């Protein structure tokens, strides 16, 4: 499973060129606390029913609070033929700690 650090994602989002899809698999209440701008929000439990919203060949960075749920989602998506997946190492907790200290932590 490929991972992406929060610093690498931050640099990627700041650079010109195509952006990866950022798939946030946290629950709605978590999204209300904090989220990266421009993310696609599909809670982990809804992924099977909403899988057609994702492109199997797209580069997708899967995000959750610490990186555990996103890892499980990636395992499922890989079994469905998705290839361009990255797990955000440390999740939004690491983002708030290392990239955006103003982001709400929970």
Q: List residues with catalytic annotation.
A: 64
DSSP state of 20: P
Q: How far apart are CA 63 and CA 59, in angstroms?
A: 13
Q: How far apart are CA 82 and CA 57, in angstroms?
A: 6
Q: Which of 95, 31, 33 is nearest to 67 (CA)?
A: 95
Q: How far apart are CA 2 and CA 88, in angstroms?
A: 9
């Amino acid at each position: 499973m490929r991972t992406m650090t929060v610093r690498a994602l931050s640099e990627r989002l700041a650079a010109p060129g195509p952006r990866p899809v950022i798939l946030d698999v946290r629950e709605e209440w978590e999204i209300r606390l904090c989220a990266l701008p421009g993310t696609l929000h599909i809670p982990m439990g809804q992924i099977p029913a909403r899988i057609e919203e994702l492109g199997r060949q797209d580069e997708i960075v899967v995000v959750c609070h610490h990186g555990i749920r996103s890892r499980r989602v990636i395992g499922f998506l890989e079994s469905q033929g998705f290839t361009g997946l990255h797990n955000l190492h440390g999740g939004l907790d690491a983002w708030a700690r290392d990239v955006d200290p103003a982001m709400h932590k929970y």
